[in-house]
Amino acid sequence: MSKIPKLPTTTKENRPGPLNSRPFSRTLANGLSDADKKSLLLNHTRPLRSGAVTTVPAPRLKRAATAPSATIVPEKSAKIDKKPGSVAPKIPPYDYKARFNDLLEKHKAIKSEFNDLKDRHVEISDDYEKIKETVQTSATEKDILKEKLLNVHKDFKEKTSELQSLKIDFELTKHENEELQRKTKVLDEVTSSLKQKSLDLDKIQSEFDDLSRRHKSLQEEAEALRLLSEHLKKVSIEYDKLRLDYKEAQEGITKYKSEYEALQNILAGMYKDQRDLRNTVQDLKGNIRVYCRVRPPLESEASKPLFNLNVLDACSIEVEKIELLSSARKGKSQHSFTFDGIFTPHSSQEDVFAEVSSMVQSALDGYNVCIFAYGQTGSGKTYTMEGGCGKENYGIVPRSIDMIFNCMEDLKRMGWELTIKATFLEIYNEVIYDLLDSNKDQESHDIKMVNSKGNDVYVSNLREEEVKSSHDFIRSLSELSKVILSLQTNQSHIPYRNSKLTHLLMPSLGGNSKTLMLVNINQFDECFNETLNSLRFATKVNSCRTTKAKKNLTMVDTF
């Protein structure tokens, strides 16, 4: 909105009157009312009283509030002031001098007044010029303002028209808003109804899904039934076919059964022949067989001096020691021995068992078999019988157990039920210890005769344990080793144990048994004499020839 400059207020007082440089009288006459003019004329015509000063006050410019044109209204009528109470002496008409003086005075006063008026006129002219200038400036300003006013008017009009259009817009918007509100309300109602319908739809959808599932499952059941029915048809055909096959098979089974029995008889005959042959070979080898095994020095024993040991052939060795110190025994000590076989320091556990396994087979064929190791302490008896860690180091006992259980599997396939029981004992310091009995206070164990007729012996009060697998058995051996170890650490070791042992081995050595003895030796110089003793004892054993062994009645005889 344009600013309207404040115009200088043109009051009736300061507004320039129609004064100009025309003679005052005329001007005055023009500006005075008729009454004023009359009074002025009267004063001019009236003779001045002596001693009175007549002054004409400068007319003040005044414009009647209602008068459209400017008129000069003297503030006071141009009367000659008279002092109150003083009455001017009347100049007689003949007193020209007085009259002349009076006129002079009046002239003087009028002249002075004229001069005043003239000054006043100049002042007023200046004012007028100023006012004129102001009026011109004001007119310019007025024009500017007018123009501005016009602009403002124009703006105002535009704004008014804008306002109008805005009002119209507002009304329209208001109307639209109301319409929208109405529509929103309707929409809300529709939304809520849609929500409800959506819920209904969900419910219907879930019912539909349920029905679809049931329909599908019914379809599947129908398909399964159809397949089942087809399958049943096939089965029925196959069943008829199978019945025929079964009949044929039964006839075949009867035929095969008789053939099987015949084959079993042949097999049993073969077993018998094989056993007899093995036994013949055993007999030829002798019922007491003695093998010698030489153990290698351990790494820790590498510095120990060795005596000479020569393997002459598969069955003979020669041991030789040269005596250097004592003059009495000076010379060469050389001895040769022959056994059923020699196992050198290079022979493996497998090599040993290959020779021994025929004895285990004899046990399975129903003979009493005794396999034992003999030798001085540290010569390798435990290693030979039990073995070391790892399967390749297994000794005779675990390998025999494996063989027995493998054979059992064959026999089981032929319908046999078998039970294996084991006893463990140690003869130590002439006392028999039951190694399966962990009680410290064991019952005493004695070697007794089985019956008065034969030579068979048994050890009383020994604990028997059933062994169900070779693994269990190899259970048992590791525990046994621990027991032996603990016994040995508590008591001083007695290396030579033969009294009770000889007694226990009596039937094996001289009776109806097959006996295999392993004489273990080492090659250490310091052990030469002990080695010699062992070899001599083994030679004696080897020279024993028992009567031909008779087998006990065993399962294999029933074939």
Binding site residue list for ATP: 375-382
Q: Using CB atoms within 10 A of its CB, is residue 301 exposed (0-12), middle (13-18) or buried (19+)?
A: middle
Q: Please select the residue that binds ligand ATP; options are 49, 63, 275, 295, rule is CB under 6 A.
A: 295
Nearest to 289 by CA among 224, 384, 380, 372: 372
269 interacts with ligand ATP by CB under 6 A: no
Q: What does the alpha-carbon distance between residue 496 and residue 498 come to, in Å, rounded to a whole number? A: 6
Give min distance, CB of 485 to ligand ATP, in A: 10
Q: Minimum distance from CB of 395 to ligand ATP (Å)?
A: 9
Q: Which three-class secondary structure state does DSSP give residue 533? A: helix
431: Cβ–Cβ under 8 A, 6 or more apart, which residues? 500
Secondary structure percentages of the chain, helix, strand, coil, to 5:
55, 15, 30
388 binds ligand ATP (CB under 6 A): yes
Among 5, 296, 331, 454, interactor with ligand ATP by CB under 6 A: 296
Question: Is 428 one of the binding residues for ligand ATP (CB under 6 A)?
Answer: no
Q: Is 498 in the site for ligand ATP (CB under 6 A)?
A: no
Please state the closest distance from residue 273 (CB atom) to ligand ATP, in A: 37
Shortest distance in whole angstroms from residue 392 CB to ligand ATP: 11
Rg of the Cα atoms in the chain: 82
Q: Please tell me whether residue 531 binds ligand ATP under the rule CB under 6 A.
A: no
Greatest C-alpha distance within the chain? 230
Distance CA 174, CA 181 (A): 10
Are the C-beta atoms of 535 and 292 separated by less than 8 Å?
yes
Does position 395 interact with ligand ATP (CB under 6 A)? The reply is: no
Helix (H) or strand (E) holding 166: helix 96-285
Out of 16, 380, 507, 511, the residue judged to bind ligand ATP by CB under 6 A: 380
- Residue 333 or 344 having the CB closest to ligand ATP: 344
User: No. of H helices and E strands in the chain?
Assistant: 9, 15
Gap between the Cα atoms of 407 and 391, Å rounded = 19
507 binds ligand ATP (CB under 6 A): no
Q: Provide the annotated binding site.
A: 375-382
Q: How near is the Cβ of 382 to ligand ATP at its closest, in Å?
A: 3
Q: Single out the residue of 80, 407, 455, 418 nearest to residue 271, CA to CA.
A: 407
Residue 512 engages ligand ATP in binding (rule: CB under 6 A): no
Binding positions for ligand ATP, 136-175, rule CB under 6 A: none
Phi, psi (degrees; rounded to nearest 5) at 332:
-105, 130
Taking contact as CB under 6 A, which single stretch among the options 140-148, 164-172, 271-279, 370-378 is the one that binds ligand ATP?
370-378
Question: In this chain, which of 372, 383, 428, 537 binds ligand ATP, going by CB under 6 A?
Answer: 383
For residue 348, the minimal CB distance to ligand ATP (Å) is 8
Interface size with ligand ATP, residues (CB under 6 A): 13
Instruction: Return the residue nearest ligand ATP (CB atom).
Output: 380
The torsion angle over the Cα atoms of residues 404, 407, 409 and 411, rounded to 10 degrees, is -120
Which of 378, 398, 507, 511 forms a contact with ligand ATP (CB under 6 A)? 378
Q: Which residues bind ligand ATP (CB under 6 A)?
A: 295-296, 298, 375, 377-383, 388, 520
